[in-house]
């Protein structure tokens, strides 16, 4: 079976930075669409709409993974245990850990809800269906990501994962949210460099609130062993049109910002021996 994600980059890696884009997938399987109780357009509410195009345009030589399957199919930023019994027949409540806030709100491994659209599915998915998604989509992405981070760590002595997402406007001055699981997933020096680049162009930045990072950071970060992981959320209004549907006039500026952020982290990882991106 073909991988459900795209992998870009060289072996050995050309940069200590590894990019991950887990929530921008738009390849909706027919079986998923057939199970909907709402219009298919409602699933766009779960997408980090077109942030993959921002990341692709900002990428230089860095390794990058981009998930093609949509978040509605399976959420790579949730653990395999975050399963919702309301949509998943394979859940065994007696063996399930305490429900996370995301799972309680309907945003588990298989999302149950999408914003104002409400409940998504006409039926529960069988244990076999969910197991197939985990085996074909969830585990391969995480295995590849772990392997690429290990390769970067081996080659450069340090690896930094930048997990790229987008968010709805927060209704305040914050346009970028940087998450490091409240200091657990990355050294402060990397976060400071990212924050400085956003502030340099006059954008409001928040740290860990309301997005501190999810399963991807929790699973792959190991700062004590030289593997750092940071989530970056971009306000979709920065790079989409007024309808928040297609790329807008701010696309180029957002790409330039992400490129400078990547370059700053590369510079920090190298101890200042790499040339920074040009203005």
* Omega of the bond leading into 265 within 30 degrees of 0 (cis): no
CB 155 within 8 A of CB 228: no
pTM above 0.85, yes or no: yes
Enter the tokens of residue 198: 């956003």
Q: CA 93 to CA 104: how far, in whole Å?
A: 13
pLDDT in tens, 51-83: 999 999 999 999 999 999 999 999 999 999 999
**CA 56 from chain center: how many Å?**
14
Those residues whose C-beta lies under 8 Å from the C-beta of residue 269, and which sit 6 or more positions away, are: 16, 17, 156, 158, 160, 190
Residue with tokens 């593997």: 227
Q: What is the DSSP letter of 240?
A: B
Q: CA 279 to CA 271: how far, in whole Å?
A: 21
pLDDT in tens, 3-25: 899 999 999 999 999 999 999 99
Residue with tokens 């529960």: 124
Q: CA 192 to CA 205: how far, in whole Å?
A: 11
**pLDDT the model gives residue 3:** 81
Q: Which domains does the chain have, with CATH numbers?
A: 5-269 (3.40.630.40)
pLDDT in tens, 90-149: 998 765 667 788 898 999 999 999 988 899 999 999 999 999 999 999 999 999 999 999
Q: CA 196 to CA 209: how far, in whole Å?
A: 17
Enter the tokens of residue 246: 């297609």
**pLDDT the model gives residue 217:** 98
End-to-end CA distance of the chain: 43
Q: CA 55 to CA 133: how far, in whole Å?
A: 25
């Amino acid at each position: 079976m073909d991988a459900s994600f795209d992998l870009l980059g060289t072996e050995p890696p050309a940069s200590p930075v590894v990019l991950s884009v887990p929530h921008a997938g738009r390849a909706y399987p027919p079986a998923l669409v057939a199970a909907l109780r709402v219009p298919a357009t409602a699933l766009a509410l779960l997408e980090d709409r077109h942030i993959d195009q921002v990341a692709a345009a900002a990428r230089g030589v860095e390794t990058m993974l981009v998930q093609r399957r949509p978040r509605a199919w399976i959420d790579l930023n949730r653990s395999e245990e975050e399963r919702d019994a309301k949509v998943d027949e394979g859940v065994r409540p007696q063996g399930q850990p305490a429900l996370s806030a995301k799972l309680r709100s309907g945003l588990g491994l298989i999302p149950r809800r999408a914003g104002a659209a409400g409940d998504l599915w006409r039926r529960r998915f069988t244990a076999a269906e969910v197991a197939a998604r985990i085996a074909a989509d969830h585990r391969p992405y995480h295995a590849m990501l772990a392997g690429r981070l290990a390769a970067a760590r081996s080659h450069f002595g340090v690896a930094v994962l930048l997990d790229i997402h987008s968010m709805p406007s927060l209704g305040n001055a914050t346009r970028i949210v940087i998450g490091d699981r409240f200091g657990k997933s990355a050294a402060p020096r990397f976060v400071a460099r990212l924050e400085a680049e956003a502030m340099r162009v006059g954008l409001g930045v928040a740290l860990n609130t309301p997005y501190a990072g999810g399963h991807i950071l929790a699973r792959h970060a190991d700062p004590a062993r030289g593997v750092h992981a940071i989530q970056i959320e971009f306000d979709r209004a920065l790079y989409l049109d007024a309808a928040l549907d297609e790329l807008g006039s701010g696309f180029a500026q957002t790409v330039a910002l992400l490129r400078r952020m990547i370059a700053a982290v590369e510079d920090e990882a190298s101890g200042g021996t790499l040339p920074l991106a040009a203005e």
